[in-house]
Amino acid sequence: MKLSDLLRETYSAISMNKVRSGLTILGIVIGIGSVVAMISIGQGAQGEIEANIESIGSNLIMIMPGMQAGVGTQVRSGWGAAQTLTQEDAEAILENISLVAAVSPEISKRYQVTAKGTNTNTSVIGVTSSYPAVKNRELEIGSFISDQQLKNLSKVAVLGPTTRDDLFGEGVYPLGQKIRINKVDFIVIGVVKSKGGTGFGSQDDMIFIPLSTAQRFLSGDKYVTTINAQIKDQNLMTLAQQQITFLLLERHNIFDPQMADFSILNQSDIVEAASSVTNTFTILLAAIAGISLIVGGIGIMNMMLTTVTERTREIGLRKSVGAKNKDISSQFLTEAIILTFIGGVIGVILGWLISFVMTKFFDITTVISVFSILLAFSVSAAIGIIFGYYPAHRASLLNPIEALRYE
């Protein structure tokens, strides 16, 4: 039996029972469609989280005071927590480790901030002039904190766009305005551009002031809460992390690395941890969708079994005119595969539409990957074969005499 004949027989068999074929296809469409949509949502979330982490800056190593802590464990930070890192540590890292391109020590705490009667609660971060380069921030208007202002302990502030809106309302020119943080007056000298990101806390709601000013007027001590170090080469992150660790252990007179009074987070570790979380999320979504795919497959099997029973006499007739067992089984198997294939194609389109709607109307980032489409197709083909095989096999084994006699 030629392939073209097989396809023609399949076509006429499917079109002879349009309603049932349609319902069977629908089962597969829902299954494949939800798998594609779910994976696209999962991968979209993954991409967004990774982009968020990347936007913090590139090739970053973050050093925080406190005990060693891995990713995902609570890192104690903020003023009043462990106080072990200083600006001198940051400078030593830059001076002694050639892999480090720049360092940006910072000190941060939330404060009630007021301006002309309005007030807001926001993070106030003491930084140095290297901050914009290390943490990937650009200015919208004005200028950032200069080395001169650091030296002079100037009371100047650079606002995040959300903070500016909270304090002055939209459309008000903020430069030169006065704000009050913890009873100290600051002059606004700049506003940074929005980073837009969601999750991970907004990076747009914060106020930058000179590190020296923050230490003198707000914290009253010489400690910092984070040292960000930017590494020259992404491939040397681990080496740089080791060198920083050794340097700080030495500077802090600690001999046992287990007793380190600081912890180091490597940006790639954070990315890895976050993607393993979103991976699990994607797999979970796909598994839920996979269940509907299995239900669709059982639908195929159910329909094929019914078809075989209904067409018993036809099978007997085909055998009497010379069809071999293989001819019969390939006919029914082809039918099942074609049905799932059609369902697969429509399902991919449906899944694509769902993720399009998600992105368009619900602002959920989705990613349709070639992988998910290939997966959907191979899964639907496999379902056709797996769930079509048994009915096809049963049909092929029918005895022609009994099949012809079947009422």
Partner 1 sequence: MIELLNITKIYKTVSVETKALKNVSFNVKDGEFIAIMGPSGSGKSTLMHILGCLDVPTSGKYLLDGRDVSQLFDDELAEVRKNKIGFVFQSFNLLPRATVIRNVVLPLVYSNVPKIEREKRAKEALFNAGLEESHFNHLSNQLSGGQMQRVAIARALVNNPFLILADEPTGNLDSKTGEIVLEAFQKLNFKQKRTVIIITHEFYVAEHARRIIHIRDGSIIKDEINHHQRIIKL
Binding site for partner 1 (CB under 8 A): 1-2, 4-5, 9, 12, 16, 313-314, 316-327, 400-401, 404
Quote the CA–CA distance of 237 and 249 in Å, as a whole number. Answer: 18
Closest distance to partner 1 from the beta carbon of 308 (Å): 15
Helix (H, G, I), strand (E, B) or coil at 264: strand
Closest distance to partner 1 from the beta carbon of 364 (Å): 47
> Pick from 217, 198, 51, 39: which is nearest to 124 by CA?
217
Of 5 and 95, CB closest to partner 1: 5
What phi and psi, each to the nearest 5 degrees, are found at residue 223? -90, 160
Of 188 and 395, CB closest to partner 1: 395
Of 19 and 321, CB closest to partner 1: 321
Of 272 and 327, CB closest to partner 1: 327
CB atoms < 10 A from the CB of 73, how many?
9
Of 9 and 50, CB closest to partner 1: 9
Helix (H, G, I), strand (E, B) or coil at 80: coil
> Pick from 260, 270, 338, 348: which is nearest to 61 by CA?
270
Of 140 and 314, CB closest to partner 1: 314
Closest distance to partner 1 from the beta carbon of 401 (Å): 5
Closest distance to partner 1 from the beta carbon of 341 (Å): 22
The Cα-based distances of 24 to 347, 350, 395 in angstroms read 13, 16, 19
Q: How far, in whole angstroms, is CA 125 from its chain's centroid?
A: 27
**Do residues 252 and 66 touch, judged by C-beta distance below 8 A?**
no
Closest distance to partner 1 from the beta carbon of 2 (Å): 6
Of 139 and 317, CB closest to partner 1: 317
Closest distance to partner 1 from the beta carbon of 322 (Å): 2
Quote the CA–CA distance of 401 and 399 in Å, as a whole number. Answer: 6
Closest distance to partner 1 from the beta carbon of 16 (Å): 5
Q: Identify the H or E element spanning 131.
A: helix 131-134
Of 4 and 253, CB closest to partner 1: 4
Joined tokens for residue 229: 């170090």
Residues 6+ apart with CB under 8 A from 52: 197, 198, 199, 200
Residues 6+ apart with CB under 8 A from 1: 323, 327, 330
Closest distance to partner 1 from the beta carbon of 320 (Å): 5
Q: What is the DSSP letter of 217?
A: I
Quote the CA–CA distance of 11 and 308 in Å, as a whole number. Answer: 16
